[in-house]
Amino acid sequence: MEVILEVKNLSKKFGGFEALKGVNLSVKKGTIHALIGPNGAGKTTLLNIINGLESPTEGEIFFEGKKINHLSVEKRAQLGLGRTFQLLEIFGDLTVLENIKVALFAKSSWGLLKSFFLGKSFNPFERELEKEAFSLLQIVGLSHKALELAKNLPAGEQKLLEICRALALKPKLLLLDEPAAGLNTRETKELGLILTQIKKNLDVTILIVEHDMELVMRISDVITVLNFGEVLSEGTPLQIQKDSKVIKAYLGEEL
């Protein structure tokens, strides 16, 4: 299976603290790959380095075989690296539909200024954009909320909206940081089903940082366990469940 993301010997120091220590990671195309570990293990730092928010102290990052260390966040997004964050970053005073249309505008070659000057001649393109936005909202189960203000959505639906907005940028690899945080059991189950559908129907590879072990075990193809900035273990959910080091340190005897 083709590797879409490869991290080689990655280290990150903050002053005297070494957040990541020689991390190696390969994410295969068409998979859901989970990163787990306790707070402070380096999971979010690793995501930040992959999408360009932070620079590594040492090591290399390859996306589809191309070294991307020197590229900005925007350039990496153009290549197909999408990202959501622990803290929601939706536009609360826009409707659900408008949130997606803004992202589609950003990805298109038209842009807001061009659409303004084109006036009525822009309408066919805008209708096509709206159609695409509705299609994306259907994937995450939010099409019936299209005209509601984003800030009025429950927390679980706001998470889905942020994922949908990331999908509007047409990523090849989607980085998700704690998407189930704050969700109830029902919402978490729905999230898992949606992420599986995204992988299957949109051909999007997913690298997910998540603390909800039930969700991780249910949807992941591969799991990498970080421990104090180092890779402790890696394997399928079944292999991770049976790894004595992981059971002792993270998952608990019940898993």
The residues spanned by each domain of the chain are 1-80+171-255, 90-170
Mind listing the pLDDT tens digit for each residue in 86-120?
656 788 999 999 999 888 877 665 555 455 444 54
pLDDT value for 125: 65
Summarised one tens digit per residue, pLDDT across range 5-22 is 999 999 999 988 999 999
CA pair distance 193, 231, nearest whole angstrom: 28
pLDDT at 77 over 50: yes
pLDDT at 254: 46
Report the mean per-residue pLDDT for the chain: 88
DSSP 16: T
- Comparison of pLDDT for 175 and 125, the residue scoring more: 175
Topology (CATH) of 1-80+171-255:
Rossmann fold (3.40.50)
Confidence check: pLDDT of 255 > 50: no
Residues β-bridged to residue 8: 60
Q: Distance (Å, rounded) from C-alpha 61 to C-alpha 120?
A: 45
Q: Please name the amino acid found at residue 222.
A: V
Q: What is the pLDDT of residue 75?
A: 93
pLDDT in tens, 223-250: 999 998 999 999 999 999 889 888 877 6
Mean pLDDT of 31-43: 91
Q: Which of 35-39, 103-107, 214-218, 238-242 has the lowest mean pLDDT?
A: 103-107
Higher pLDDT, 121 or 222: 222
Q: How far is CA 177 from the centre of its chain?
A: 6
- Residue of 24, 25, 23, 27 lying closest to 1 (CA atoms): 27
Q: How confident is the model at residue 28 (pLDDT cuts 50, 70, 90)?
A: very high
Among 18, 93, 148, 20, which residue's Cα sits nearest to residue 9? 20
Q: Cα–Cα distance between 97 and 207 in angstroms, integer? A: 26
- pLDDT at residue 208, as a whole number: 97
Contacts 24+ apart (CB under 8 A), 239-242: 241/217
Q: What is the pLDDT of residue 117?
A: 45
Q: Which residues partner with 67 through β-bridges?
A: 62
What's residue 24's pLDDT? 98
Element (H, E) at 239: helix 237-242
User: What mean pLDDT comes out for the span 158-183?
Assistant: 92
Single out the residue of 87, 21, 112 nearest to residue 59, CA to CA: 21
Q: What is the pTM of this model?
A: 0.89
Comparing 52-61, 198-207, 240-249, the range with the smallest average pLDDT is 240-249
Given a contact cutoff of 8 angstroms between Cβ atoms, the answer to whether 253 and 58 are in contact is no
Q: Is the pLDDT of residue 84 over 70?
A: yes
Decide if pLDDT at 159 tops 70. yes
Q: What does the pLDDT read at residue 88?
A: 66
